[in-house]
Structure 1
Amino acid sequence: MMTTHGAPVSAPTNVQEVEQLVKRLYQPGTPKVIAQIDDQLKLLQNSSDGWQLADALLGSDDPNVRFFGALTFQVKLNTGARLDAAAAQIVLSKLLHWTAQLDRAGEGHLVRKKLCASLVTYFLRSPVPWQRPLLHLAASFYHGSAVDEERLSTAHDAIDQYLPTLNDSQLITILWLSGTLATEASRVDHATQENTQVHHLMEVLAIDASKVMQFALSQPVNANTGRVKAESLSTFLNWVNYAQPMWTAQQQALDYLRELVPQLVPLLTDEVLQNEAMDVFRDILESYTTFFQPQHMALLANIVHQYARPRMLQLLHNRAPEVIPVAQLIIAFGIANIQQVVEEPQNELGSKLIVQLLLAILESPGFPGDDDEVSIHSIEFWNTYIEYVNEELYSRQTDQNQPAWLEHDKAVCLRLSELLWSKMRTPPSDVAQDWSDAESEAFKEFRMDASDLMLSIYIRLGNEMLQRFISIAANSLSARNWQDLEAALFAINTLADNVLEDPSAEELLGQIFSSYLFREIADFSQSIPTQTRRTAIDLLGAYGQYIERHAEALPDTLRFLFASLETPGLYISASKSIESLCSTCRNSLTGELNGFLAQYDSFAQSETSEPYTNEKVIGAIASIIQAVSPERAKAQPLSALLDIVDSMVMNTRQLLAQPDLEKAAAIGVSSIDCLVKIGKGLQVPEDVPIDLCEDDEKPTYQDSFWKCQEGQAIQLRILNVCQTMLQLLPGVGEVVDSVCQVFKAGFAETEPGPFVFPPNMIVSFLEQCTIATSHLETVLSTVCTLIVQYSRKDQPRIDSEISRIYAKAVTLVQHLHGEPSQDPGIAQACIDVFNRMIGRYSNIFFDVAGSGTAVQLILDFAIKALDGPDLMPKRSATDFWRRVVASKQDQTDRAICDRAEQVINAYGLPLCQALMNQIAGRGQRSELDSLCEPLKVMIQQRAQTKSWLETALTNDALPDINPSVGDIEKRRFVQQVISLRGANKTKDVVKNFYAACRGTVTSYT
């Protein structure tokens, strides 16, 4: 007996007590009591008396108890209860009996649906094939109880005699059974031999299923037929969804379903069922386009013309949300019929009507996300349209004639681009201020989707589209229509990447950049919406390459941007454009450095000065400093930037003294982030041309400045900022992350520079860390990058520093007591560090000059990670062991080879045991690909692998697996993977074995 603070939960001794327990399950109670009741009932369900209990409970007068009885039948069938042929027939007879009896008694939906689910489970699980479930249930309804299956007619139209005798409730139940059969059968793997019979039966069953739906759809209209036809729609969709992957070659079975389409199409105009019908047809059009034959598409085209068109236009006019399902049906039809839409523009119903309706959506009043909820849905159609057009045009041979539809398409695309611009216009401020966050986000989402579409349209129209937007911008500027101007600038901004690649666009861009646009925008005495100014600022950042070629405009442009930095609502966009322009135009701005530093000092005193904008602007100035030559000339402006960072450090000290910890942390982290921006700004741009005629010997000052006292003093200042912040904010992980980014900024450089730190400094940073250091994983990741950098052949060896890294990583593993699960993040990072050493620094990893004690600690740790529950350490451990096993073949050093051989001999069996534990079910299916990698290398390189695998699979350490996988299956698995010799098919064999061990397939073959 289980007892709680409430009533005791005793094990029932008869059916009446079970009924009472079930009733208590559905009554309010404490979670503990409910859980105990549930446990008791599950024991009963899984007991040998479960079948009899299920049968008895279905006779109860309580619907909850009857539901539990039906559920118990399903549980027994699902849990693999062993049934011989006779027992299976008894179970089926009971289920059919109760389905017929309870329907006659007026049973509700819940129990009847659960009985249908149990019948479907029987169909899928029974050892005896259930040939015609729908016919069998219809006959049972007719006779009022279960009918012996042998008495059923074998004629293909046998079900026809029963259908007229069914009442609506019985017909709906058969439709439920039919639809559930299709849904559940679609989840049965058709690639395995044992399931072939199920899918063969489904082909036969399609005849009865189609006849049931055909009969249901032909019923005369009355109060109840709406429900019948609604269930027919749902069942039809389930069968189509089943057919799509299963019947690629079974046209006859598909035809049974296709014959129903003419009866289903009229439901699209049914006042009661139209929404459900539109959902069904849209679903099929979107996911299984080829299901509908040309005659079906013609029927749908007529529906669109006669019904959907007037309804959608009226709903668009009324701005009614009911327009969405109608529009979605038209969109899906258009996408499914896209070839005809594009290539037959004169076809009234198949093309012209669809294009007109889809343009009408964008012509309708309202703002997307607010009172226009349908425009965003139309983008999907237009994406498909323009993708088809571009693919057709650019896949043609140059000597092929242009298609006849080209001119019409061009007109459509021009009109489309104008409508998109119109829909992208921002609302007046009095409208926008009443928008919710969701409405604002929906409008932004439309703008982003429309921007992507515009890029595709530009590929089709080219400069004609750009000229149109520039003209709109000029006209809007003259009319001082700021919303129209902003949308035009936004569109031009969207096209920037493509436009800048086209030299012929240069003259067109001059029309806007040489206009008085930016003089107007820069006049802060004018009442211009902030959004318009912001988009103009974004335009300057996007077209930096153009501005660089017209450097005369650069200083004034940047002064305008710096002025915008001090304007609320503009400073974020301005800082981004400043960074972009300075990076792109750095070579043209070196003479402006002092002026920009002065402008930064002014900005730093403004209310808009905050961490994000500071970092952007400091990074922008650093980009210009990078272009200064010689190297010595960079020292003064770089020192000025570091003065700014030093002042932030001082502010942090003062705030900590007040104390204002939150603000101190924000400014402290920002100071290091400014260093990161400086470091990235000083990196040589990737697009700098290589001078192939450059002298091998560079001027001495260029090589040595950052190594001389003055250059190293600057580097020391950078390090001092990092060290100070680590001391001032020891528990702030973001400081550690940012310091690591400072170190990484120099990794990309190939010549000395202020951020190219000696390896010793980075290793010293690691040695200062303890197991409790915040974000220690980031430090270890930085060290990994360092090892990779100095593993390249063009870099000197740094054995001393690598040895120190090795010692520190070993210490961290010891602090974890050799248990990866104590801190999976640090465990993964340590394994990654050791992994990076294998190769150039294998001598250190294998401790060739020492006793090898540390190696044993590392390898034990990596075995535990491989066989542990934590995903990330396990993933790192799989790659680590792959490289360990393969390390010998990459080495010529005899001592390293000998130590590697000792390691594999000692750890071959533990490694195979860990791999087999995971593959036999302890791991996740998503991990199998990575687990295969060390296994494949082992098989390729070690002859003992076969015996190790066989031993591992018979070891008591192996987790519990499905009893169907015995010694024979294990030996077959080993034989298969060994014979594949590490080929890619190994993964398939491993996945099949895993599924068999987990019991998700019935046997391992």
Structure 2
Amino acid sequence: MVVRKLTSALVAFFIHFPNLWPDCIRSLCVSMSSSSPWPVEITAVPPEISTILWDVDSRKLQTVLWFAGSLVEEAGKIDANASKHLGIYEAIASNISDVVALMSHCFSAGFSQTSEDRSLQGDCIKTLQSWILFSQRLAARGDETIPLLRSLIPPVLSALSIADLFEAAAELLSDTLLNYSGFLLEAHYEALFSLLLEDSARGRYQRLVDGDFDFESVQFGQLMLALGDSKVQLLIENTGDRSQDFLTRLRGLLHAQGYPISDDRIFVPALEFWSTFVETLVDCMCSDDHQAQPWVSAASSHVVELVSGIWRKVIFPPAQDFAEWDSSDRIAFVDARKDVADLLQSSFTIIGSRLVSSFADLVLSSLASGHWLELEAAAYCLGALADCVAGDICDESLHTVFSSPLFHTLQQTDSRLPPRTRQTCILLLERYAEFFERETASLPAALTLLFSVLPDAALAGPAAKSIQRLCSSSQQSLASESGAFLDQYSMLSTRQQIDCAASERVLGAVASVVYAIPDDQERLRYLDTLLSFVRQDVSDSLRATSSPGFEHSHRCLVEHDVSNVAEHLALKSLRCLVSIGKGFKAPVEAPIDIETDRLQVHAYAGHRELLLEIQSGIITMIQRLQQSFPDNAEVVETICTIFRTGFSESEAGPFVFPPDVVANYLLQQGPPTPRLGLFVSAACSFISSLGKSPDGGLDLIRSNLFSWVTRLLQQLPEPDSDTELAQIFLDPGLSGSAEFFYLFALRVLDGREPLPKAAAADFWRAAETATGQLGPLLARSLIKNIGGGGARSELDKLSEPLKKMISQHSKSRSWLGDALRDEHCVGYQVTQQDREAFLKKVISLRGSRATNQVVREFWLAARGSKFAYAS
């Protein structure tokens, strides 16, 4: 410990004063050989270092190695471009020949059996590793020291065969292969391939795949993977026996005994290599120059072999055993499964539909044998390939799965089927929703299964998600079953067998099916039935508000501790309305009427009264809930989302409320309503949805909303007191409203009626006066921010209004000049001369992009950084 501290002190001295001790390595060796301090000036003409080293014993040589390794490690931490460290790299590089001579001497006596020599050689390998890493920095400076260090690689390769030195040698080679593969020569690679494939290495390899995951075994596997990663292109394109044998061994690392993470410590690194291998192979196959190459078949065969067995590594351990794992290991195991899924998706490009077929067969065989954990793994892998399948190329394989006894087995309520297996298999239905769009005959069985498992708390979430996906993607073929869907949901709701989150998804799913009913009256009637479930929840929420002792039987309230029952039910009701509204939207791919350029969707002609009645009911529910929970920001947010569902629709619909209804609801909002900015944001979207129609009623709505927002802003003591409202006020939607307002005033001025024209003239006189007053104020605000008041990240945004002002207002020079002369706007660090130079330069740029850089420099100057303007 004392010697280590002394070497650290010497390293610190060298780094701070490299010029005082240029030949540090040789000086230390000379001192060690004579056992007395060697004056620095004498080292200029010392004897050959190779002759000096023979007089230094192993313990002293180890001390010099410690110093040499620590020297480059610490040097690597400093900024060599800093003024106080100029020349440090050059000073270290001047010692490279002495360092190489020192390490060569340590290796020269051969690898003797004594523990003292083994320890010395181990430290020598560690020192070499530090110098190889540091040589990357020297190489960037054009230094020619790398060949000297390369001469020491052969002894390191030999050290792989020595048990006491294997760890240090494997660490050096792995690190170099991964981080600096260009350091090694082809001769080194050839030797390393030979060493890792020879009989002596076979024993290490076999112990690793048999489940020996001690440190050196894993390190051996990592060395193999590092070599493979650095030569992956060569391994792909070389069909020789050695390359094929090496790839076979690398493939074997994926099938080592034990569960990944908890037992198998080499699986994840091996998976990373094979992911790289597959991606590289795909890139090669996509190239026209490589498609017909003979090595494609050989490389592809390795991919086929690895995916045929890798699915076993994603099999979960028994639930009880998995629960005993460390939490970090459980998370890492799940992540490893995701990485396997990614590998399978990449492999699909190479293997094609055969991959889906193989996993479909595995699902069926696991199902027949009752191996439930294997069934889960096979279903997981099959689901991972869903995004790769295009069209009906795999429908035959999928049909065998979905027409098998799988659905019947999943519906069984006994405990023999683990919950995770049921959950994974149910997710298959969502993953392959497009299959059910084509194979509509399989839909009823799939949906029957999904509805049957909704009462299961562990499966309700994925089941509801799958129901929503299947219903939205197959709404046309399911429209005739709307009544059955409503009956099924009614039964679940009455029995309190469905939680809130599942309710939201299922109601949205049923709404999308109801939307596809062709008859307007029947569609609205079914929708009203759907909304009746929401009305019941609203009623329960209001009863719970007025009666604290309200007895409830809602499932989520029974299973979870919900402190505020009324509020919970209110939010559930509103979210269900959102889900129904989204489900009742016109599909994106709806046909366009060429004559009118409008979507061909439902117009509800002849049923307007029923439509308005439903809309009135929805608005009433919203109003009652907001009145009951006036301080709840989440209620406000969800209400705004409900309104937004109709803004993008182009035709009438239950959630496309009349403009005056929406406007009146918005105009009622004001302090102390929480998050008023959300209502203002909704107003922006609403105004945008109205378009630029000159309809008189819509003009009044725009004007009223603009006045409403203005009043809200006037009630703010400071803009910072409600940042959300201040930000949203400047939304383009409201800006567009202001633009319409000004254009309307111009149209009035061009009109014929004398009274409106006189009012318009007064308006524009006031507007011109306002421009004269606002211009200097805007200039002052901009200069205050640019002059150091704003943040660096805000400068580009602040530059835009500055450029616009300069390019469009003739008085901008005067306004900016007055602001620059104000000491409250610009820091004292900026001289008057620099202020004038700034003004001259931005005016001359006339709003060009270069203004941003000038603004940035001025800001730096105001913050205290020195700079000078070009004259």
Q: Same fold by TM-score, threshold 0.5 exceeded? A: yes
Query: 1:314 matched to which residue of 2?
Result: 207
CA shift for structure 1 position 914: 0.7
* Distance of 2:128 and 2:682 partners within structure 1: 59
Change (3 A) 1:133 1:174: farther
CA shift for structure 1 position 492: 1.8
* Distance of 1:353 and 1:981 partners within structure 2: 69
* Distance of 1:176 and 1:519 partners within structure 2: 68
Matching of residue 917 in structure 1 with residue 794 in structure 2: no
* Distance of 2:49 and 2:702 partners within structure 1: 80
Matching of residue 702 in structure 1 with residue 623 in structure 2: no
**CA displacement 1:163-194 (0-9 Å, x = unmatched):** 887764455345433332233136x48xxxx8
After alignment, is 771-780 or 462-471 more displaced? 771-780
Question: Which residue of the other structure, out of 220, 224, 227, is the alignment partner of 1:333?
Answer: 227
- Is the CA contact 1:929–1:987 (under 8 Å) kept in the aligned structure 2? yes
Change (3 A) 1:909 1:427: same
Query: 1:404 matched to which residue of 2?
Result: 294
CA shift for structure 1 position 611: 0.8
Change (3 A) 1:335 1:785: farther
* Distance of 1:698 and 1:819 partners within structure 2: 42
Q: What is the identity, as a one-letter code, of the residue corresponding to 2:294?
A: A
Question: Which residue of the other structure, out of 213, 219, 233, is the alignment partner of 2:106?
Answer: 219
Question: Which residue of the other structure, out of 662, 680, 692, is the alignment partner of 2:582?
Answer: 680
**CA displacement 1:81-123 (0-9 Å, x = unmatched):** xxxxxxxxxxxxxxxxxxxxxxxxx967568647745764x57
* Distance of 1:503 and 1:422 partners within structure 2: 28
Q: What is the identity, as a one-letter code, of the residue corresponding to 1:589?
A: L
* Distance of 1:267 and 1:931 partners within structure 2: 63
Structure 2 gap segments, 5+ residues each = 108-115, 550-561, 747-763
Query: 1:416 matched to which residue of 2?
Result: 306
Change (3 A) 1:474 1:313: same
- Is the CA contact 1:214–1:260 (under 8 Å) kept in the aligned structure 2? no
CA shift for structure 1 position 426: 2.8
* Distance of 1:255 and 1:791 partners within structure 2: 72
CA shift for structure 1 position 915: 2.2
* Distance of 2:13 and 2:810 partners within structure 1: 52
Change (3 A) 1:138 1:949: farther
Change (3 A) 1:699 1:738: closer
Query: 2:421 matched to which residue of 1?
Result: 532
Matching of residue 831 in structure 1 with residue 727 in structure 2: yes
CA shift for structure 1 position 684: 1.8
After alignment, is 753-762 or 333-342 more displaced? 753-762
SS of the residue corresponding to residue 318 of structure 1 reads coil
- Is the CA contact 1:178–1:209 (under 8 Å) kept in the aligned structure 2? no
CA shift for structure 1 position 923: 2.2
**CA displacement 1:862-920 (0-9 Å, x = unmatched):** xxxxxxxxxxxxxxxxxxxxxxxxxxxxxxx99978866763444124303312315xx
**CA displacement 1:807-831 (0-9 Å, x = unmatched):** 45445545552252x4xxx314422
- Is the CA contact 1:369–1:443 (under 8 Å) kept in the aligned structure 2? yes
Once the two structures are superposed, the pairs formed by residues 805-884 of structure 1 within 5 Å of their partners are 805-820=705-720, 822=721, 826-837=722-733, 839-843=735-739
Change (3 A) 1:302 1:117: farther
* Distance of 1:685 and 1:172 partners within structure 2: 71
Query: 1:388 matched to which residue of 2?
Result: 280
Query: 1:586 matched to which residue of 2?
Result: 475
Change (3 A) 1:373 1:201: closer
- Is the CA contact 1:993–1:1004 (under 8 Å) kept in the aligned structure 2? no
- Is the CA contact 1:746–1:757 (under 8 Å) kept in the aligned structure 2? yes
Matching of residue 373 in structure 1 with residue 265 in structure 2: yes
Question: Which residue of the other structure, out of 71, 76, 86, is the alignment partner of 1:177?
Answer: 71
Question: Which residue of the other structure, out of 736, 740, 750, is the alignment partner of 2:650?
Answer: 750
Query: 1:90 matched to which residue of 2?
Result: none
- Is the CA contact 1:846–1:900 (under 8 Å) kept in the aligned structure 2? no
After alignment, is 233-242 or 648-657 more displaced? 233-242
* Distance of 1:137 and 1:995 partners within structure 2: 46
Matching of residue 719 in structure 1 with residue 653 in structure 2: no
**CA displacement 1:59-96 (0-9 Å, x = unmatched):** xxxxxxxxxxxxxxxxxxxxxxxxxxxxxxxxxxxxxx
Identity percentage of aligned residues: 26
* Distance of 2:623 and 2:369 partners within structure 1: 58
CA shift for structure 1 position 591: 0.9
Query: 1:135 matched to which residue of 2?
Result: 23
- Is the CA contact 1:210–1:260 (under 8 Å) kept in the aligned structure 2? no
CA shift for structure 1 position 667: 2.3
- Is the CA contact 2:208–2:256 (under 8 Å) kept in the aligned structure 1? no
Q: What is the identity, as a one-letter code, of the residue corresponding to 1:405?
A: W
Matching of residue 665 in structure 1 with residue 533 in structure 2: no
Query: 1:903 matched to which residue of 2?
Result: 774
Q: What is the identity, as a one-letter code, of the residue corresponding to 2:787?
A: M
Query: 1:355 matched to which residue of 2?
Result: 247
CA shift for structure 1 position 596: 0.9
Q: What is the identity, as a one-letter code, of the residue corresponding to 2:287?
A: S
- Is the CA contact 1:230–1:276 (under 8 Å) kept in the aligned structure 2? yes
- Is the CA contact 2:211–2:256 (under 8 Å) kept in the aligned structure 1? no
- Is the CA contact 2:593–2:600 (under 8 Å) kept in the aligned structure 1? no
Query: 1:487 matched to which residue of 2?
Result: 377
Q: What is the identity, as a one-letter code, of the residue corresponding to 1:355?
A: L
SS of the residue corresponding to residue 647 of structure 2 reads coil
- Is the CA contact 2:153–2:188 (under 8 Å) kept in the aligned structure 1? yes
Q: What is the identity, as a one-letter code, of the residue corresponding to 2:72?
A: S
* Distance of 1:519 and 1:266 partners within structure 2: 62
Query: 1:94 matched to which residue of 2?
Result: none
Matching of residue 730 in structure 1 with residue 630 in structure 2: yes
Ranked by relative contact order (alpha carbons within 8 Å, sequence separation 6 or more), the top structure is 2
- Is the CA contact 2:65–2:127 (under 8 Å) kept in the aligned structure 1? no
* Distance of 1:154 and 1:792 partners within structure 2: 91
Change (3 A) 1:482 1:709: same
Question: Which residue of the other structure, out of 223, 236, 239, is the alignment partner of 2:131?
Answer: 236
Matching of residue 630 in structure 1 with residue 501 in structure 2: no
Change (3 A) 1:487 1:132: farther
* Distance of 1:742 and 1:849 partners within structure 2: 34
Change (3 A) 1:769 1:693: closer
Structure 1 gap segments, 5+ residues each = 1-105, 124-129, 851-892
- Is the CA contact 1:915–1:935 (under 8 Å) kept in the aligned structure 2? no
- Is the CA contact 1:916–1:952 (under 8 Å) kept in the aligned structure 2? no
Change (3 A) 1:136 1:938: farther
Question: Which residue of the other structure, out of 458, 474, 480, is the alignment partner of 2:348?
Answer: 458
- Is the CA contact 1:176–1:231 (under 8 Å) kept in the aligned structure 2? no
CA shift for structure 1 position 973: 7.4
CA shift for structure 1 position 632: 3.2
* Distance of 1:767 and 1:444 partners within structure 2: 51
Q: What is the identity, as a one-letter code, of the residue corresponding to 2:73?
A: G
- Is the CA contact 1:358–1:378 (under 8 Å) kept in the aligned structure 2? yes
After alignment, is 338-347 or 613-622 more displaced? 338-347
Q: What is the identity, as a one-letter code, of the residue corresponding to 2:93?
A: A
* Distance of 1:765 and 1:146 partners within structure 2: 92
- Is the CA contact 2:434–2:473 (under 8 Å) kept in the aligned structure 1? yes
Change (3 A) 1:811 1:158: farther
- Is the CA contact 1:207–1:253 (under 8 Å) kept in the aligned structure 2? no
TM-score by structure 1 length?
Answer: 0.71
* Distance of 1:671 and 1:238 partners within structure 2: 63
